[in-house]
Amino acid sequence: MNVAVCVKQIPDPAGELALDPSTHTLVREGKLILDDSDSYGVEMALQLVESAGGGEVTLVSMAPNNETSGLRTALAMGAAKAVLISDEALAGSDALGTAKVLAAAVSRIQPDLVLAATESTDGYTGTTPVQLAELLGWPAVTFAKKVEVSTESVTVRRQTEAGYDEVVSPLPAVVTVTAGVVEPRYPSFKGIMAARSKPVEELTVADLGLEASAVGAAGARQQVISVQAAEERKAGEIVTDEGDAHQKIVAYLEQIKVL
């Protein structure tokens, strides 16, 4: 069982985020980290490979400036190797452009299964994995709460509005994993040391045989018109609980006729 995991390296969400004043795209110049959302896919992939009794986990990532710090985190967790696509032509790519790049990379790797997060933390479009599946001509099962694999199929509990569906898909397939379904392991010291020498294959748009016009800002075919301050909500009354704050809440709920 060979599993590829799409991982995104993003600016630290706890830090200050900024938009480029001319392109209105997120500034990604500083150090990038592994998106927390992707740690669940990496963990799930490692567990599936372990339960299958063989195979390996390959990371696939698209990032500016040949950034690998986030990849090293996932390699330290136990992934065997990574494919990194980095190219100036990719700046400003949208979700579909990203899916085209990932599809070309996945076609080279030929895994049995591709895992991804339901959405990234920074862009959170949540469309790339299924666009990737459509470009590959594969089935996809999104919003997985539980994943099991056999040699020929993957069985998924898929989140629905009402509860969940039990979905079985032949392989290869794309599965997106919701957060919290497995507990991502912390990289061990040994893992961190080993990650330094694990192979990261660096590719460009040309290496993948893609036209530069299909990806990047040119391929995105969308434009930010403006960015403005939103209407602000004002803070109301703030009280410190001295044993009677619950009465304040009850009075407030009465006032707005909820009670």
Interaction residues for other proteins, span 215-244 (CB under 8 A): 220-230, 232-241, 243
92, 220 contact by CB (below 8 A): yes
160 is a site residue for other proteins (CB under 8 A): yes
22 touching other proteins, by CB under 8 A:
no
| 4-12, 62-70, 114-122, 204-212 -> range binding other proteins (CB under 8 A) | 114-122
Least spacing, CB of residue 152 vs other proteins, in Å: 11
The count of residues interacting with other proteins (CB under 8 A) is: 85
- Contact present, 58 and 109 (Cβ < 8 Å): yes
> Are the beta carbons of 216 and 94 closer than 8 angstroms?
no
Residue closer to other proteins by CB (options 80, 92) is 92
CA distance 30 to 161: 39
Would you count residue 134 as binding other proteins (CB under 8 A)?
yes
Q: Which of residues 40-99 bind other proteins (CB under 8 A)?
A: 94-96, 99
Rule CB under 8 A: choose which of 56, 126, 194, 207 binds other proteins: 126
Q: Is the dihedral of CA 15, 16, 17, 20 positive or negative?
A: negative
**Residue 129 CB contacts under 8 Å (≥ 6 apart), including other chains:** 6, 99, 114, 116, 117, 118, 140, 142, 174, 176
- Identify which of residues 148 and 202 has a Cβ nearer to other proteins in the complex: 148
152 binds other proteins (CB under 8 A): no
